[in-house]
Amino acid sequence: MRILLLTHAFNSLTQRLGAELQRRGHEISIEFDIADSVAEEAVALFKPDLIVAPYLRRAIPESIWRKHVCLVVHPGIVGDRGPSALDWAIQGGETEWGVTVLQAEAEMDAGPVWASAGFPLRAAKKSSIYRNEVTQAAVTAVLQAVERFAAGNFAPKPVAACEDARGRLRPLMKQADRAIDWQRDDTVTVLKKINAADGFPGVVDELFGDTCHIFDTWPESLLQFPGSQPGDLVARRETAVLRRTADGAVWIGHAKRAGDFKLPVTLAYAAEATALPEAKLDGWWRVDGQTWQDIAYEESGSGQNAVGFLSFEFYNGAMSTTQCERLQRALAWAKQRPVRVLVLLGGADFWSNGIHLNVIEAASLNEGSPADESWNNINAMNDLALELIEAGDQITVSALAGNAGAGGCFLARAADLVWVRDGVLQNPHYKNMGNLYGSEYWTYLLPRRVGAEGAQKIMRDRQPLTAQRAVETGFSDACLTGDTQAFRIDVARRAMEIAAAPDLEARLAAKRESRARDEAAKPLAAYRDEELSHMRRNFYGFDPSYHVARHHFVRKSLASWTPRHLARHRDLNWKIPA
């Protein structure tokens, strides 16, 4: 079928649905929901058999839903309606939730039901639930709805006739519903409130006497603060600050000041945070107990068969200069451990999304230079990638439980093996960010895996790679099924098998020889210099595209057109297949 995806943005859910439908032989084109007339034009050009709306912020125009079946993905159980479905579910402590695929009609989210899928609701950030459980359930339900539509004999049921309809209409969740009472709310309540608002819109609160939106919390149960009161800010660590609740304390990682954009709290309130006592962690070993630790190292197995695991839980997968430098130090330290397999686990929701565009943009707030900060950040990323490429004494594995984008994909590719959880998406291209050329040794790493032509195609097409597709193209080495926990267990088992295999020494020797041969043919420094000469032009040259794109990305400017590589029906050569 020809399926038009009508969406507010090409977010991860839309990317995943597009890829899954394409994989089943459907022809997909995408249009952003910018204006009724633009959507109508897209429908006229593409003449879809079916329209799917994975992520909309407003109703589909009547001129479209009257003539075409439009399937809308709603992140709520059957009967649930309203724009804050997940927010209410998380804040209200629901334990089971779901996704419903409805047919668009006059009343929003009230049309007949084509399919639904449920899941247990974790206590986690809304953005994490959306990228994991919601996305997976949406894929299941949309594929079922599309099959039913194709069969031609399915009659979608009105909500009132669905036996499993236990949801109801709920209003937009307001800041008054989210407000934290630091004197009364215990840690669990505070976590629920901030999780329900993460990554958007955040909870309006005060930090250092200034009104802002707060995001990104973690519980703390190891530290004690005698003499402090609930609500007091009591410590800082790396990018976060610690605040007392009624019965404990929580780390707050990110804040958005009025008129600004989201930043690590210790950058948004740099001077104020410095005055707080530092609660530094010693070294990189994972701390036992509840605390916030962005970089953590663990080992399993013993003696010859020991395997090292390095996690880096950076918010949104964005990696600033300082974070790259710290991670490089942790990696260098881990390489000295008596382990012969080293697994880089990244974070649970993202493995890495490359340089930290918000921190770079923030340089302009402090009369610094975003170009300089971009330069520092890409060099720190490159140093980190180099540390990984040059690990001669270990087999290295990047294990992606969450998505990766741009430079983050190539940082992962710097390991010997890349294992990806089924359902994870990689976007191994840079051009969407104002024609960035990219670095992280991609010109060395990518063609070795997919050939010169394959590399050109990946960079040119700018399409998300599903885990299966990544393995088919050679970009990744294995696609492992299961949720994040099952994935990590499988990763550990496979890594221990490699460590215990009789051919490990031979494998390591072959790795060192191959690296030496590559280095003799063309040194890594030459790849880096070439890439950075392009990046220098991106950052300091006369074409401001990268700075403009970053500005809009960080400030979340609304799209005013759909990029041509997504809206295939707008290609000059596009014709409806006979």
Binding site residues, ligand COA, CB under 6 A? 11-12, 199-200, 262, 316, 318, 353-358, 403, 405-407, 427, 430, 432-433, 436
- Report in angstroms how near the CB of residue 356 gets to ligand COA at its nearest: 5
Encoded tokens for 509: 């020797």
In sequence order, the β-bridge partners of residue 443 are: none
- Report in angstroms how near the CB of residue 566 gets to ligand COA at its nearest: 12
Q: Which is nearer to ligand COA, 311 or 358 (CB)?
A: 358
> Rounded to whole angstroms, what are the CA distances from 340 to 333, 485, 490?
13, 23, 18
- Report in angstroms how near the CB of residue 44 gets to ligand COA at its nearest: 28
- Report in angstroms how near the CB of residue 215 gets to ligand COA at its nearest: 7
Contact, 51 vs 136, CB < 8 A? no
Distance CA 154, CA 428 (A): 39
DSSP H helices in 390-523:
407-413, 442-461, 467-473, 484-500, 504-521
- Report in angstroms how near the CB of residue 429 gets to ligand COA at its nearest: 9
Q: Which is nearer to ligand COA, 12 or 484 (CB)?
A: 12
Encoded tokens for 389: 């490429």
- Report in angstroms how near the CB of residue 373 gets to ligand COA at its nearest: 12
341-346 and 307-312: which strand pairing? parallel
- Report in angstroms how near the CB of residue 315 gets to ligand COA at its nearest: 8
CA 292 from chain centre, in angstroms, equals: 19
Q: What does DSSP assign to residue 159?
A: G
- Report in angstroms how near the CB of residue 189 gets to ligand COA at its nearest: 22
Q: Which is nearer to ligand COA, 158 or 563 (CB)?
A: 563
Distance CA 440, CA 386 (A): 8
| Cα torsion angle, 271, 272, 277, 282, sign | negative
- Report in angstroms how near the CB of residue 37 gets to ligand COA at its nearest: 26
Contact, 182 vs 194, CB < 8 A? no
Let me know if 104 is exposed, middle or buried by CB neighbors in 10 A (0-12, 13-18, 19+).
Answer: buried
Let me know if 77 is exposed, middle or buried by CB neighbors in 10 A (0-12, 13-18, 19+).
Answer: buried
Distance between first and last Cα of the chain: 12
What backbone torsions phi and psi does residue 505 show, to the nearest 5 degrees?
Answer: -60, -40
